[in-house]
Structure formats: C-alpha cells, structure tokens
C-alpha cells in the first residue's frame, strides 16, 4: 500500500478533547494515595493513539497544573496503523525532551490486548487512567486508498492495519447470505439487511457483482435499497458494518471492557468516545454492570434496556459482588455546538466516563 508523505499523514481533529481529559485526570484521592509510593508514577493508557491528540492534551495539562513536579507520567498507547504510530512518535518524543518526567511506550497492536500487554510489560502494576476513541480517524476516512469512504473512490479495503490480509472485498466475495445479513443487521443496524445480502449473493452467482471500488459499491447499495433521498447516504450503515467486521472492532471493545476492572487502579478514571449507537450501547451496558454489581446483567436483561448482540454483552465475574464506581456524568457528554461547527464529524460522538472506586482482584 502506498505511503503518504509525513506532512499529509495525520491531519486529524481530535473530538471532545478537553472534555475527555478533564474527566480522566487523576483525582485528589488518587494523588494522595500515591504520595507514599516510592515511584510516584501515574500510568495512563491511550487505546487508540491515532494523531495523539488526547495524549498530548493530557501531557500539557500535567505540565500546566505542575503535576510533573511530584509525579512521573507513563503513557501506554496502542494503535495498529503504522502511519499513525510514526506520526505520533515524533510528537511524543518532542514532549519527552521537554518533560523529563514523561515516558511513553507504543504497542503496534489491537487495544483489545490491553490486559495482556500490561501484565507482560508492567507486571504487578495498575493503570490510573484510560482513554479510548473508537472512531475511525480523519486520515483513514479521507485517504481514498484506505477504502473507508463512500465519496472517495478507492479499493474495497477498510483495513485499519494494512498488514492484515482480510478486506471488505473478501467479505463480499466469500460470505454466505446468512453471514452477510448478520453483519449488515448486527453491525450496521441496516433494516433492509436481508434484501441487500440476497441481492449480493444473486449477483455474485451470475457474475454480475463486478464491483471493485467504494464508489461503485455505494451506488450499488443505493440502487438495491431504494431509500427515499435523505441526509445520510444509504450505504453508510453497510460501510460501517463491513469496517467493523474487517477489523473485528466490537470484539476488541468487548475484550477491553471485560478486562478493564482487572487492570485499573481502585481510584482510576476512564473515558470512551463512541461514534455510533451500537458502540455506545456496549459501553453503556458495561458501565451499568460495573456500577450495579453481579445482579446488573440479570436486571438489564429483564428490562431489555440494551439491544446488543448476545456475543458482545459484558459478562460479570463470579466475585464481582459489588459495584466498582459510577458513570460521571450519567448519560455521557456530546460535543458542543461550537465544536460541531468546527468539525462536523463530532456531531455523532458521545463520551462516557467512569470513575472506579474499587477494582477486581486477579
């Protein structure tokens, strides 16, 4: 895959930056508890490093509030896009030169592996804060050759990690009607999932599915689904579903949320930014479990509060007998009108934050 020059690589506008950092900054209670710790090291995780916008904001706030006078800050970051990592390393190295109590480690892997990475490389340590921005970065959307965009002609690719072999075109060429229907409905929440899947299979059988690029496939979806003209392109939900399937996105979120209580410090804070309702419901479901304890799952299933595929529901541990903390603020945070005017993509973003009081012993 063609690499872009660095000056074009990651011109990404970070969403809900100030709000996210304010809600994950260490509490006074946490800082007091670490005063007796000889290392005085705060460990923060950025699950989706991207252009490092959230992490840079965190580092700068640390400096502004003089936290570097008393504490080290170690950033543990994850991203499986080489372009993002190379760009972020340059920015973070400059900050490391400026603040000698700042350190960082970047893992070129999926954020669903947070627990194993922490246990392997930072044994017997808990993290004090975590940020996850589940959206696709602006550069990934805007570079036609990445295949994410409905409007820019590119291959039906959609890999966040270009080193992987599995693409969106592989799904269209090989998945059964049942599996296509499943991903379009479960991951795209497309009401006409079965109709689209049936058309793809029929055209594939007779050799009429001659689609190799994103613009052609978007037009094909528009023709098959025949929705009345609206603000949202008819292919949006299908493209979302394919991207999620290619990158195994929701399973990664589920793994992260399942493992987080085992690696978070009892006074740690977390922030999760979602860009579509299914991601947000998974996060909401996890937080309700964390807040209510071991009976939360049964209560929520009775009330049918969450329309989530069963395999993506967060399971409760046997020894999770009490709640871990609370969502602050309840219901989450959306972008201000001012931010939405500056960055239209922020309109669909929702930030949910959780402050832990207890963690799960492993």
> Binding site membership for S-adenosyl-L-methionine: which residues?
52-54, 79, 111, 133, 140
Q: Which of 197, 84, 205, 96 is nearest to 135 (CA)?
A: 84
Tell me phi and psi for residue 213, to 5 degrees: -135, 165
CA count, 13 A, side-chain hemisphere, 126: 20
Task: Output the CA–CA distances (angstroms, integers) from residue 160 to 4, 157, 181, 238, in the order listed.
Answer: 15, 9, 23, 17
How far is Cα 221 from Cα 336, in angstroms, rounded to an integer? 33
List residues forming the annotated binding site.
Answer: 52-54, 79, 111, 133, 140
- Are the C-beta atoms of residues 50 and 84 closer than 8 Å to each other? yes
* SS3 category, 42: strand
Pairing, β 72-78 against β 41-46 = parallel
**What is the largest distance, in Å, between two alpha-carbon atoms of the chain?**
72
């Amino acid at each position: 895959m063609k690499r872009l020059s660095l000056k074009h690589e990651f011109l990404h506008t970070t969403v809900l930056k100030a709000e996210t950092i304010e809600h994950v900054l260490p509490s006074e209670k946490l800082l007091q508890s670490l005063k007796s710790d000889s290392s005085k090291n705060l460990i923060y995780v950025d699950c989706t490093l991207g252009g490092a916008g959230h992490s840079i904001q965190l580092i700068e706030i640390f400096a502004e509030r003089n936290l570097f006078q008393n504490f080290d800050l170690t950033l543990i970051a994850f991203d499986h896009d080489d372009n993002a990592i190379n760009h972020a390393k340059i920015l973070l190295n400059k900050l490391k030169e400026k603040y000698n109590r700042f350190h960082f480690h970047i893992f070129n892997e999926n954020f669903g592996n947070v627990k194993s990475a922490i246990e392997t490389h930072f044994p017997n340590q808990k993290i004090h804060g975590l940020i996850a921005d589940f959206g696709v970065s602006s550069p990934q959307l805007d570079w036609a050759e990445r295949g994410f965009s409905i409007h820019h002609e590119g291959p039906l690719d959609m890999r966040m990690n270009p080193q992987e072999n599995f693409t969106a075109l592989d799904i269209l060429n090989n998945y059964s009607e049942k599996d296509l229907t499943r991903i379009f409905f479960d991951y795209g929440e497309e009401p006409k999932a079965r109709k689209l899947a049936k058309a793809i299979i029929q055209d594939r059988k007779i050799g009429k599915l001659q689609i190799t690029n994103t613009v052609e496939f978007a037009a094909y979806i528009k023709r098959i689904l025949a929705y009345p003209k609206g603000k949202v392109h008819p292919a949006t939900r299908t493209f979302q579903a394919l991207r999620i399937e290619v990158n195994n996105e929701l399973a990664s979120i589920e793994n992260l949320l399942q493992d987080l209580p085992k690696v978070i410090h009892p006074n740690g804070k977390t922030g999760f930014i979602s860009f579509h309702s299914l991601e947000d419901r998974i996060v909401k479901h996890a937080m309700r479990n964390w807040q209510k304890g071991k009976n939360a799952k049964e209560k929520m299933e009775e009330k049918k509060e969450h329309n989530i595929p069963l395999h993506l529901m967060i399971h409760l541990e046997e020894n999770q007998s009490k709640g871990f903390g609370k969502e602050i603020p309840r219901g989450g945070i959306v972008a201000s009108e001012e931010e939405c005017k500056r960055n239209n993509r922020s309109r669909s973003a929702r930030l949910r934050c959780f402050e832990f009081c207890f963690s799960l012993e492993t």
